[in-house]
């Protein structure tokens, strides 16, 4: 907003008011004249037409005045002097506090690196809100929803205070359900008596439990589960269980014995499990809407599940909406006698990841895909898998042999055919992408992450269907402008988004800025496509499997 723009607004306003006064004056004169005696009531048709035209324009005048008032009002309200943060209504200030208080301080990947006092920091949110000023403190304390997320770290320097802090949060949360987040730390110490009493006191209020097993202290985790989920589990309201085993290793079992119950006394609807799981026969895998079975990120092993047990888990949750999977499937039926897929009419999000060492791809996505039969609802599929598999080789061998995972590609085609796929994200290499797209006539958004393009004029993206995307997203891709031209030619998009891509010519990488200059020229041939260079991950809100 500049001085010249404000002056232009003032001049336009003065001219508008002067013209409006003049318009009103003319209308009043004609009105007065029409009331005078002796003035003929019959007027030429052209005059009558002009009166009709003015009446017809009147509604648009009112609409434009309302829009003008709204725009000027928005401009004024954005000025800090008009709306200082201290004068905001309680509801708006509360929303701001919630934004400041998230995300959670406890990030397992960070805590896992903390092996000393210097590397440890206590959770601070939302305490920093109440330490800003007395007005904010009074406001924040009166907002129960701000205190429902409770972080507990049994660190030996703070073990006397973490229970007291948690009890304060519980009091401020009033009667609202609690989100409890617990992680072990190093150095580690806790007093079981007061901690156990606290857990028992909130066991009927914990709606969401997030357990981060950083250093693998199994007795500590069993103690927590025993206090929160007593034998009378029917009193628990916990619906969401999240586990994260950041540093899984061979001396710790993958499975939680506390959930091996005969009857389903638990009421979970969402299980987000990474490296730490209830046993595969547990009744907790029932009536779920969100199921995520993921291998621990720093575990050299792959947690295993037999194919028939995975099928049992899926059949126990027919209303499943979200399914993420990155475990090793064992005891598979042979490919020539595949099992019948499980009908999941509500499935909306599916993610499969085989990410490990490229020379040791234990999981083939085809064994997961063939178990699933989605309904007619729009489906998002994300796959992190290199369909070009490295064969085992000797250290003395001169070449590394590569073959295509044809089994998974064929199962992917079949899955496309029986699904209403509207959003697809694929990471690494995926041969025959054009063939896949021909089986996704309703595809709206396509994201290619770290994708290797093999498009050439002699090898274009060929597919049998008509494909126009709402958005094409390229993340960390390495491709030429000519390859992008071929892609847009055969699969046009309304929006093209680039994130950390490297563009090159046939001779090599562009110098910095040259690709930016070339792309608008390319898009002149595709005027319906809008180009965006994005600095943040455009698929962050997609719930893509990591």
Instruction: Kindly report which listed range (5-14, 141-150, 396-405, 480-489) carries the lowest average pLDDT score.
Output: 396-405
Model confidence band, residue 485 (pLDDT cutoffs 50, 70, 90): confident
Asked whether the beta carbons of 324 and 384 are under 8 A apart, the reply is no
Buried/exposed 209-233: b ≥16 CB within 10 Å, e otherwise: bbbbbbbbbeebbebbbebbbeeeb
d(CA 475, CA 260): 42
Count other C-beta atoms under 10 Å from residue 42's C-beta.
5
For residue range 41-95, list pLDDT tens digits in order: 677 888 888 888 888 888 888 888 888 988 888 888 777 666 677 777 788 888 8
- Whole-angstrom CA distances from 423 to 282, 335, 395, 441 are 33, 28, 41, 11
Query: How remote is the C-alpha of 219 from its chain's centroid?
Result: 34
287-298: average pLDDT: 89
Count other C-beta atoms under 10 Å from residue 26's C-beta.
10
d(CA 105, CA 121): 9
Model confidence band, residue 298 (pLDDT cutoffs 50, 70, 90): low
For residue range 155-185, list pLDDT tens digits in order: 777 677 888 889 999 999 999 999 999 888 7
Which of 214-228, 311-325, 355-369, 394-408 is predicted most confidently? 311-325
- Is the backbone of residue 162 left (phi > 0), alpha (psi -120 to 50) or beta? alpha
Model confidence band, residue 114 (pLDDT cutoffs 50, 70, 90): very low
> DSSP label at 529?
-
d(CA 283, CA 278): 9
d(CA 197, CA 149): 19
Asked whether the beta carbons of 354 and 365 are under 8 A apart, the reply is yes
What is the reported pLDDT for 116? 45
What is the reported pLDDT for 47? 82
d(CA 93, CA 455): 52
- Close Cβ partners of 98 (under 8 Å, ≥ 6 residues apart): 145, 146
Model confidence band, residue 358 (pLDDT cutoffs 50, 70, 90): low
The helix (H) or strand (E) run that includes residue 294 is strand 290-294
Choose between 395 and 320: higher pLDDT: 320
Choose between 104 and 278: higher pLDDT: 278
Mean pLDDT across the chain = 82
Locate 151 and state its tokens: 């972080």
- Could you please report the per-residue DSSP string of 308-344? HHHHHHHHT-TT--EEEEESEEESPPPTTSPPPPEEE
Model confidence band, residue 466 (pLDDT cutoffs 50, 70, 90): low
What is the reported pLDDT for 341? 94
Choose between 382 and 337: higher pLDDT: 382
**Helix, strand, coil share of the chain (percent; to 5):** 35, 20, 45
For the chain, what are the domain ranges? Answer: 3-86, 92-251, 302-443, 444-546
What is the reported pLDDT for 35? 78
d(CA 243, CA 115): 21
């Amino acid at each position: 907003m500049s001085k010249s723009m404000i002056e232009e607004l003032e001049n336009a306003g003065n001219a508008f008011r002067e013209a409006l006064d003049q318009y009103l004056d003319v209308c009043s004169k004609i009105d007065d004249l029409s009331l005078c005696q002796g003035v003929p009531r019959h007027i030429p048709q052209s005059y009558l037409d002009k009166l009709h035209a003015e009446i017809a324009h009147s509604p648009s005048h009112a609409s434009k005045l309302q829009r003008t008032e709204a725009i000027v009002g928005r401009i004024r309200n954005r000025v800090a002097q008009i709306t200082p943060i201290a004068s905001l209504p309680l509801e708006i200030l509360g929303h701001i506090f919630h934004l400041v208080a998230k995300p959670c301080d406890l990030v397992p990947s960070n805590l896992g690196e903390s092996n000393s006092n210097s590397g440890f920091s206590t959770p601070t949110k939302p305490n920093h809100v109440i330490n800003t000023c007395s007005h904010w403190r009074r406001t924040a304390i009166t907002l129960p929803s701000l205190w429902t997320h409770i972080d507990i770290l049994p660190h030996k320097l703070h073990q006397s205070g973490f229970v007291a802090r948690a009890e304060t949060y519980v009091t401020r949360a009033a009667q609202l359900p609690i989100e409890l987040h617990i992680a072990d730390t190093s150095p580690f110490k806790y007093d079981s008596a007061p901690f156990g009493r606290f857990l028992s006191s909130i066991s009927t209020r914990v709606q969401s439990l997030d357990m981060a097993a950083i250093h693998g202290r199994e007795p500590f985790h069993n103690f927590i589960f025993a206090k929160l989920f007593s034998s009378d589990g029917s009193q628990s309201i916990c619906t969401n269980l999240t586990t994260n085993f950041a540093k899984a290793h061979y001396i710790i079992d993958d499975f939680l014995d506390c959930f091996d119950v005969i009857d389903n006394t638990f009421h979970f609807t969402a299980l987000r499990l990474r490296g730490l799981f209830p046993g595969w026969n547990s009744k907790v895998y029932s009536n779920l809407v969100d199921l995520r079975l993921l291998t621990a990120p720093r575990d050299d092993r792959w947690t295993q599940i037999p194919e028939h047990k995975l099928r049992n888990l899926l059949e126990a949750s027919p209303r499943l909406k979200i399914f993420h999977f990155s475990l090793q499937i064992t005891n598979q039926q042979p490919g020539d006698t595949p099992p019948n897929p499980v009908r999941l009419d509500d499935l909306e999000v599916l993610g499969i990841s085989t990410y490990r060492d490229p020379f040791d791809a234990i999981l083939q996505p085809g064994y997961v895909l063939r178990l699933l039969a989605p309904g007619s609802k729009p489906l998002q599929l994300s796959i992190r898998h290199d369909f070009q598999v490295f064969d085992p080789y000797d250290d003395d061998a001169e070449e590394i042999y590569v073959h295509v995972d044809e089994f998974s590609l064929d199962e992917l085609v079949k899955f496309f055919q029986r699904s209403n796929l509207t959003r697809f994200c694929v990471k690494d290499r995926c041969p025959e992408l054009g063939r896949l797209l021909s089986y996704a006539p309703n595809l709206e958004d396509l994201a290619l992450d770290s994708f290797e393009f093999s498009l050439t004029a002699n090898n274009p993206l060929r597919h049998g269907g008509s494909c126009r995307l709402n958005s094409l997203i390229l993340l960390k891709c390495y491709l030429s402008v000519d390859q992008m031209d071929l892609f847009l030619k055969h699969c046009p998009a309304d929006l093209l988004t680039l994130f950390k891509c490297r563009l090159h010519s046939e001779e090599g990488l562009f110098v910095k800025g040259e690709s930016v200059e070339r792309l608008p020229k390319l898009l002149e041939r595709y005027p319906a496509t809008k180009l965006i260079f994005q600095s943040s991950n455009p698929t962050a809100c997609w719930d893509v499997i990591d």
